[in-house]
């Protein structure tokens, strides 16, 4: 049996038809489809183990707490964090970055200081830092990309000085699909005593992330892009930062003792998990990461790598042959994600025609307006592949794109 087909068979959403055509789902960078193990856990918890975690002395609550904390342990192991205290459940990568931008900056960012972000950032890795800078009277600096969409770690050196308080870098761009040299960037920033947050929303899906080896200070990602549930995500942080940072939100679960005169806070990780968490969505991270791990290992992992290499080679070649097509981002170090435009065709029109063929792609600014401005466009079409996508789907996509272009010209 074919390894990719085996993976597909475990992901029920892929078997559906759209307008009578088999679904070709190429919007995985936005949200990945879920395997049965994740769906089963969500169903089981919704129908049976739906009880608040950490709070009660009864069986259902105990079970929910075990599943929630079990998922935290699975995340810890998956990213090789030293301890559960380093792993904070959030509602997603956006919330994780906002947590750091708000809490870290409240303590460390002062008037006249600055924050550095990479030019290939998603809005989630720009706006939270702008809000923090506005509040503190600090400024935002940008590590630029070149004409290929690549930033060099060395180029951060001229930007680093004693007023830089944190660097926030994109691991893999959701527009360009380029795998950035975050480890080298972290080494350089640390030489200047500056901590680094890595936006790993795409990085966690496509690379093996070992936070201790990377030596990042923070790593943020969402569950729904790695086969899990929406509204759940992770902030990894080094313990000394998380200990020193003030709480982000106040409420239940994050407290030690509360009086009207003074409140003390719960130890990590609960200090940053105020209120009833998304315990069902977060618990589903365990089967989601088990699935991600399993399909990246052994013969299956080899088959996925081979399939992705073939898809990358095919897509690059096929897009280059389409008259007027421009693929954004050029690097050997990339994932199977392709953002492009075709001269004379509006991206929205292309996407609508593809939709009628059962092909789901993303268009628009892709939550990266500064990156659009860098390439002088206001919109792109993006086809982003997951391990369960096949070369045949890529071929169908290209033939659909050619038809769409012929109709629009």
| Integer angstrom CA distances of residue 391 from 74, 292, 312, 330 | 32, 20, 9, 21
Closer of 106 and 365 to ligand PLP (Cβ):
365
Q: How far is the CB of 224 from ligand PLP (least distance, A)?
A: 6
Q: How far is the CB of 123 from ligand PLP (least distance, A)?
A: 8
Among 201, 216, 372, 405, binds ligand PLP (CB under 6 A): 201
| Integer angstrom CA distances of residue 247 from 264, 269, 284 | 10, 11, 25
For helices 59-79 and 36-47, angle between their N-to-C axes, nearest 10 degrees: 150
CA 372 to chain CA mean position, Å:
19
Pairing of strands 337-342, 255-258: unpaired
DSSP 268-293: TTGGG--SS--HHHHHTHHHHHHHHH
- Determine the Cα–Cα distance for residues 286 and 69; give it in Å rounded to an integer: 10
Closer of 92 and 149 to ligand PLP (Cβ):
92
Closer of 97 and 401 to ligand PLP (Cβ):
97
Tokens of residue 74, six digits: 């699975």
Q: How far is the CB of 2 from ligand PLP (least distance, A)?
A: 29
- Determine the Cα–Cα distance for residues 61 and 58; give it in Å rounded to an integer: 6
Among 33, 114, 174, 232, binds ligand PLP (CB under 6 A): 174
Among 33, 49, 118, 170, binds ligand PLP (CB under 6 A): 170
Interface positions, 16-75, toward ligand PLP (CB under 6 A) = 29-30
Binding span for ligand PLP by CB under 6 A among 1-9, 91-99, 259-267, 280-288: 91-99
For the question of residue 345 being annotated catalytic, the response is no
3-state helix, strand, coil in the chain (%, to 5): 45, 20, 35
| 106, 317 Cβ separation under 8 angstroms | no
Q: Is 372 in the site for ligand PLP (CB under 6 A)?
A: no
Q: How far is the CB of 199 from ligand PLP (least distance, A)?
A: 5
Interface positions, 211-250, toward ligand PLP (CB under 6 A) = 222
Among 94, 118, 341, 384, binds ligand PLP (CB under 6 A): 94
Closer of 49 and 227 to ligand PLP (Cβ):
227
Q: 248-254 long-range contacts, Cβ below 8 Å, gap at least 24?
A: 248/98, 248/99, 248/102, 248/103, 248/272, 248/274, 249/274, 249/275, 250/274, 251/275, 252/55, 252/276, 253/54, 253/55, 253/277
Pairing of strands 359-360, 24-25: parallel
Q: Is 124 in the site for ligand PLP (CB under 6 A)?
A: yes
Q: How far is the CB of 382 from ligand PLP (least distance, A)?
A: 10
Q: How far is the CB of 202 from ligand PLP (least distance, A)?
A: 5
Binding span for ligand PLP by CB under 6 A among 37-45, 199-207, 280-288, 309-317: 199-207
Per-residue buried b or exposed e for 267-300, using 16+ beta carbons within 10 Å of the residue's own CB: ebbbbbbbeebbbbbbbbbbbbbbbbeebbeeeb
Q: Is the dihedral of CA 37, 42, 46, 51 positive or negative?
A: positive
Annotated catalytic residue: which of 105, 133, 216, 367?
367
Q: Is 93 in the site for ligand PLP (CB under 6 A)?
A: yes
Closer of 361 and 405 to ligand PLP (Cβ):
361
Q: Is 202 in the site for ligand PLP (CB under 6 A)?
A: yes
Among 4, 35, 92, 371, binds ligand PLP (CB under 6 A): 92
DSSP alpha helices (H): ranges in 80-139?
93-108, 127-136
Q: Is 282 in the site for ligand PLP (CB under 6 A)?
A: no
SS3 344: coil
Q: How far is the CB of 303 from ligand PLP (least distance, A)?
A: 26
Closer of 52 and 379 to ligand PLP (Cβ):
379
- Determine the Cα–Cα distance for residues 381 and 347; give it in Å rounded to an integer: 5
Q: How far is the CB of 174 from ligand PLP (least distance, A)?
A: 3
Judged by CB under 6 A, how many residues of this single chain contact ligand PLP? 14
Binding span for ligand PLP by CB under 6 A among 57-65, 157-165, 194-202, 336-344: 194-202
Binding span for ligand PLP by CB under 6 A among 12-20, 120-128, 178-186, 250-258: 120-128
| 210, 216 Cβ separation under 8 angstroms | no
- Determine the Cα–Cα distance for residues 346 and 379; give it in Å rounded to an integer: 8
The contact set with ligand PLP (CB under 6 A) reads 29-30, 92-94, 122, 124-125, 170, 174, 199, 201-202, 222
Annotated catalytic residues are 367
């Amino acid at each position: 049996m074919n390894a990719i087909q085996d993976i597909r068979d475990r992901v029920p959403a892929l078997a559906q038809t759209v307008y009578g055509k088999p679904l070709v789902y190429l919007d995985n960078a936005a949200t990945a489809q879920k395997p049965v193990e994740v769906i089963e856990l969500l169903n089981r918890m919704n129908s049976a183990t739906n009880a608040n975690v950490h709070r009660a002395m009864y069986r259902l609550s105990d079970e929910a707490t075990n599943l929630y904390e079990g998922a935290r342990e699975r995340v810890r192991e998956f990213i090789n964090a030293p301890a559960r205290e380093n792993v904070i459940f959030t509602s997603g990568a956006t919330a994780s970055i906002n947590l750091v931008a708000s809490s870290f900056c409240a303590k460390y960012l002062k008037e006249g200081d600055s924050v550095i972000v990479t030019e290939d950032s998603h809005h989630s890795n720009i706006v939270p830092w702008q809000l923090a800078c506005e509040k503190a009277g600090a400024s935002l600096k940008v590590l630029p990309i070149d004409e290929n969409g690549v930033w060099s770690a060395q180029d951060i050196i001229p930007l680093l000085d004693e007023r830089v308080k944190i660097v926030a870098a994109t691991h893999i761009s959701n527009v360009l699909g380029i795998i950035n040299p975050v480890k080298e960037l972290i080494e350089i920033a640390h030489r200047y005593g500056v901590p680094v947050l890595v936006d790993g929303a795409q990085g966690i899906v496509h690379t093996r992330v070992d936070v201790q080896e990377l030596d990042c200070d923070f790593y943020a990602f969402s569950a729904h892009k790695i086969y899990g549930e929406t509204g759940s995500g992770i902030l990894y942080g080094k313990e000394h930062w998380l200990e020193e940072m003030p709480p982000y939100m106040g409420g239940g679960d994050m407290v030690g003792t509360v009086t009207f005169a003074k409140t003390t806070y719960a130890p990590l990780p609960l200090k940053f998990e105020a209120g009833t968490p998304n315990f069902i969505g977060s618990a589903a991270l365990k089967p989601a990461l088990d699935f991600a791990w399993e399909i990246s290992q052994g013969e299956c992992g080899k088959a996925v790598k081979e399939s992705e290499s073939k898809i990358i080679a095919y897509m690059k070649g096929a897009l280059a042959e389409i008259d007027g097509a421009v693929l954004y981002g050029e690097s050997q170090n990339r994932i199977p994600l392709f953002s492009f435009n075709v001269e004379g065709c509006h991206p929205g029109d292309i996407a609508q025609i593809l939709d009628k063929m059962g092909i789901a792609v993303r268009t628009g600014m892709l939550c990266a307006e500064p990156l659009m401005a860098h390439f002088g466009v206001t919109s792109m079409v993006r086809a982003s592949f997951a391990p369960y996508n096949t070369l045949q789907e890529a071929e169908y996509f290209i033939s659909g794109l050619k038809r769409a272009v012929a109709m629009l010209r």
